[in-house]
């Protein structure tokens, strides 16, 4: 089975979600956000996974690339290809289907619970969060988990999207911190050392949670 995975070329890592999809027999084709002209078509794709990003949906400097991804999301939904969207991927999906994406009142960075979660087997957390924006639930989708920041897990026909990062590994978070995340975290009163310590304490439970999320998605959301 073939999964198309959309992400940025310099931070392309499906992490725990990718590990679980591979365990279910999926192989990956990488689609880099920076080069939509090189994307293959959807013919033969069994699943689409969209990853997080440092980008914002509403920034003019990436508007053309965001619209290319939004067009792909609309085609995915129209053709009923199973779709799992993470963080920025969820925001693009909302934008593509008529929802809104906006700057959050405060950033959400760190390990948090998002429960209760209306999805059998999927835990409320702890989940890794790293986002400055929030999205609204598009028409035809149902909110399955939320917190004070907004929707955290939504479901649509053959689709699910998370605001949190079920894919996040310790290596991934360390890389984010090295590539500017530590400075961003400090701007909002956080510390890299504290986040790494929280990650070490929570990442194993998050791995198990990510496996449960993927299993739920493939077993309950994806239609045959």
Using one digit for the tens of pLDDT, what is the confidence trace for 176-198? Answer: 999 999 999 999 899 999 999 99
Please give the pLDDT value at position 62.
Answer: 97
Per the structure, the complete domain to which residue 93 belongs is given by: 2-168+208-221
Confidence of residue 223 (pLDDT cuts 50, 70, 90): confident
Query: Domain total for the chain?
Result: 1
Using one digit for the tens of pLDDT, what is the confidence trace for 116-137? Answer: 999 999 999 999 999 999 999 9
In-domain check, residue 162: yes
In-domain check, residue 189: no
Q: Domain with 139 in it: what CATH number?
A: 3.40.50.880
In-domain check, residue 201: no
In-domain check, residue 185: no
In-domain check, residue 135: yes
Please give the pLDDT value at position 115.
Answer: 85
Using one digit for the tens of pLDDT, what is the confidence trace for 1-22? Answer: 999 999 999 999 999 999 999 9
Using one digit for the tens of pLDDT, what is the confidence trace for 155-168? Answer: 999 999 999 999 99
Strand 2-7 to strand 47-50: parallel, antiparallel, or no bridges (unpaired)? Answer: parallel
In-domain check, residue 197: no
DSSP character string of the chain: -EEEEEE-GGG---HHHHHHHHHTT-EEEEEETT-GGG---STT-SEEEE---S--TT-GGGHHHHHHHHHHHHHHHHTT--EEEETHHHHHHHHHTT--EEEEEEEEEEEE------STT-----EEEEEEEEEPPPTT-EEEEEETTEEEEEEETTEEEESSBTT--HHHHHHHIIIIIHHHHHHTT--HHHHHHHHHHHHHHHHHHHHHHHHHIIIIIS--
In-domain check, residue 129: yes
In-domain check, residue 114: yes
Using one digit for the tens of pLDDT, what is the confidence trace for 71-126? Answer: 999 999 999 999 999 999 999 999 999 999 999 999 999 999 998 999 999 999 99
Please give the pLDDT value at position 224.
Answer: 60
């Amino acid at each position: 089975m073939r999964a198309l995975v959309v992400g940025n070329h310099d931070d392309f890592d499906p992490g725990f979600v990718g590990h679980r999809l591979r365990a279910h027999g999926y192989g990956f084709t990488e689609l880099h956000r920076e080069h939509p002209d090189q994307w293959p078509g959807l013919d033969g794709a069994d699943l689409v996974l969209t990853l997080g990003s440092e980008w914002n949906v509403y920034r003019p400097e990436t508007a053309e690339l965001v619209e290319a991804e939004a067009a792909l999301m609309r085609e995915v939904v129209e053709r009923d290809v199973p779709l799992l969207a993470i963080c920025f991927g969820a925001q693009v999906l909302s934008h593509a289907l008529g929802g809104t994406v906006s700057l959050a009142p405060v950033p959400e960075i760190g390990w948090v619970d998002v429960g209760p979660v209306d999805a059998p087997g999927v835990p409320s957390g702890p989940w890794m969060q790293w986002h400055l924006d929030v999205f609204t639930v598009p028409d035809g989708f149902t909110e399955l988990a939320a917190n004070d920041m907004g929707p955290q897990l939504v479901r649509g026909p053959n689709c699910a999207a998370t605001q949190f990062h079920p894919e996040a590994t310790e290596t991934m978070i360390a890389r984010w911190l090295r590539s500017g995340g530590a400075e961003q975290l400090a701007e909002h009163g956080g510390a890299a050392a504290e986040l790494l310590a929280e990650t070490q304490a929570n990442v194993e439970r998050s791995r198990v949670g990510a496996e449960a999320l993927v299993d739920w998605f493939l077993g309950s959301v994806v239609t045959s």
